[in-house]
Amino acid sequence: MNGKLEYWVKVPVGPIHPALEEPEKFIITLDGERIINVDVKLGYNLRGLEWIAMRRNYIQILYLAERICGICSFSHNHTYSRAVEEMAGIEVPERAEYIRVIVGELERIHSHLLNLGVVGHAIGYDTILHLSWLARERVMDILEAIGGNRVNYSVNMIGGVRRDLEEKHVRAILDMIEYYRNEVMPKIEEIFLYDPTVEARLRDAGVIPKRIAIEYSAQGPTARGSGVKKDVRYNEKLSVYPDLGVKPITPKEFTGVVKGDVFDRMVVRVGELWQSMELIERAIDQMPEGKIKAVPKDNTLLFQLKKAEGEGIGRYEAPRGELIHYVMGQKGKDVPAKWKMREPTFPNLFAIARALVGEQVADVPVAIASIDPCLSCTDRVAVIDANTGRKRVLTERDLLRLSIEKTRELNPNVKAKPEVVGVGCPRGGVL
């Protein structure tokens, strides 16, 4: 081979691909079965949530934040609330903090069980998928009992929680933990720690060394799987978590080695399932009586927030990693001047893209699934002119013009004049 001949193949994984749940594109350059380059293309699923939020008041944004992602709906909600509470200086009652911990950990259990199944599916081991998702039904039922919904349970409120935890809920949660301890966890541990097929596929796949994890600022189980002791609940002494004795979990405690591969990330998730159950039990034990909202009435709360000014940052360890919400208030308005979030998938995505170089094409789906990507909440938009390479920012008017042009192009029969009124949402509160 004289080195001049280019014989590699470019394979697009996505925007529509059976291994990806959401539209996103990875352009993978292959030399045989070996990956020599991975290019991540974002921006297929941008929903303009920040823009929509600028037209809603603080409490309405709560419901929008919940719909950023269906899996960590409570996490987004919680983080946003923390940001607003910091900005407005609202003290959250202790009981509310405990309820938040319980719901947050329940959500972590359901998210991790989901991801364990997805990883099983990615290696073609569909039995794992079906059995772990079957086990997940139980925690979804509990979440439904607490919040009224299986997915967006809207338990959270600025300055507390909307729903109290009753005696029957507590009993159901303890029953559920017993079920998981005795029936589900032994099976999960057997599969993810000792099954030879799973080990053959997950070991040494998608290796993120500790140095790369720190350099790319990987988050959550991805970072902890590489041996970085990073957990917002522990490092930041978040809410009541220090009282519950939370610790970052690394694979070292289970297997004795840290390689930073997919296997280690799964081990971390299995460990966190155990930890979450323990945290819930302790939280139920220690939970004090008292009120659950700092401000009982929403109108009063909105009025209080209207007077608030300044910035607030909320941080929380979502199941996938550190979640940051930034809120900037403006005086005299019940609409934030700026709301911005950063999801754990964003840094993790580039870390895993870096880690895939040099590995086999068979590892792509399982490596991508192992960071538990939530692509719809990660999406960013940037319009770049392919010829000049110049970036351009689209304004509201541009987007409207583009959408009208597209409609005309697709359906020339549309005769009605487009009106700017009616675009987006009406300003001000509905409450």
Partner 1 sequence: MNTLYATLGFLGVYAYVSFASLLWGGLDRKLVARMQRRMGPPLLQPFYDFLKLVGKESIIPRDANRFFEIAPVLALATSIALLAYTPLGFEPIFGTKGDVILFIYLLTLIGFLRVLGAVSSGSPYAQIGAQREMIILVSREGPMMLALFTILWRLNELGVTKPFSMGTFYEHNVWELGTPLSLIGTFVLLLVFMTWLASEIEVGYFDIPEAETELAEGTMAEYSGRHLALFELANAIKAFVSASLVVAIFFPWGISGYLGLSGVAAIVVDLLFHTLKVFAVLFVSMSVFRAVTGRLRINQAVGLFWTRMLPAAIVGALLLAIDTLGVVA
Residues that bind partner 1 (CB under 8 A): 9-12, 17-19, 30, 32-33, 120-128, 130-131, 134, 197-198, 200-201, 360-365
CB atoms within 10 A of CB 207: 21
Smaller CB separation from partner 1, 11 or 212 = 11
Say if CB 172 and CB 143 are below 8 A apart: no
69 is in an annotated binding site: yes
Backbone phi and psi for residue 316, each to the nearest 5 degrees, phi listed first:
-155, 150
Q: In what order do the strands lie in the sheet with 34-41?
A: 9-13, 25-31, 34-41
Phi, psi values for residue 143, rounded to 5° = -65, -35
The strand order across the sheet containing 338-342 reads 310-318, 321-329, 338-342
Burial 175-203 (b: 16+ CB within 10 A, else e): ebbeebeeebbeebbebbbebeebeebbe
CB of 17 to partner 1, least distance (A): 6
Nearest distance from residue 127's CB to partner 1, in Å?
Answer: 5
Q: State in angstroms the smallest separation of the CB of 180 from partner 1.
A: 17
Cα–Cα distance, 232 to 158 (Å, whole number): 20
Q: Under a CB-based contact definition with an 8 Å cutoff, are residues 56 and 78 in contact?
A: no
Considering the complex, what minimum distance in angstroms separates the CB of residue 335 from partner 1? 43
Q: Quick one: 95 or 201, whose CB is closer to partner 1? A: 201
Match 């790319």 to its residue by tokens.
216
DSSP 424: S
Complex with partner 1: residue 18 or 412, whichever CB lies closer:
18
For 397-416, b/e burial (b = at least 16 CB within 10 A) is eeebeeeeeeeeeeeeeeee
Considering the complex, state which of residue 21 and residue 50 has its C-beta at the smaller distance from partner 1.
21
What does the CA dihedral 126, 131, 137, 140 come to, rounded to 10 degrees?
Answer: -70
Question: Is the four-CA dihedral 133, 138, 141, 147 of positive or negative sign?
Answer: negative
| Angstrom distance (rounded) from CA 145 to CA 165 | 10
Q: Please, what is the minimum distance in Å from the beta carbon of residue 179 to partner 1?
A: 15
The answer to the question of whether 183 is labelled as a binding residue is no
- Smallest CA-to-CA distance from 78 within 322, 306, 371 is with 322
Identify any residues that bridge with 318 across adjacent strands, giving them in sequence order. 321
Q: How far is the CB of 269 from partner 1 (least distance, A)?
A: 17
Q: Which is nearer to partner 1, 24 or 322 (CB)?
A: 24
Instruction: Please give the radius of gyration of the chain, using alpha carbons only, rounded to the nearest integer.
Output: 23
Q: How far is the CB of 188 from partner 1 (least distance, A)?
A: 15
Instruction: Report the nearest approach of partner 1 to the CB of residue 32 (Å).
Output: 7
Known binding residue 425? Answer is no
3-class state of residue 20 by DSSP: coil
State the DSSP code for 161.
E
Closer to partner 1 by Cβ: residue 123 or 349 = 123
Residue 156 near residue 162 (C-beta atoms within 8 A): yes
For the CB of residue 190, give the shortest distance to partner 1 in the complex, in Å: 12
72 is in an annotated binding site: yes
∠ CA 89-90-93, nearest 5°, is 145
Q: Which is nearer to partner 1, 17 or 354 (CB)?
A: 17
Are 310 and 329 spatial neighbours (Cβ–Cβ below 8 Å)? Answer: yes
Considering the complex, state which of residue 165 and residue 188 has its C-beta at the smaller distance from partner 1.
Answer: 188
Residue indicated by tokens 């140095």: 211
32 vs 418, beta carbon nearer partner 1: 32
State the binding site for Fe cation.
72, 377
State the binding site.
50, 69, 72, 341, 374, 377
State the binding site for Mg(2+).
50, 341
State the binding site for Ni(2+).
69, 72, 374
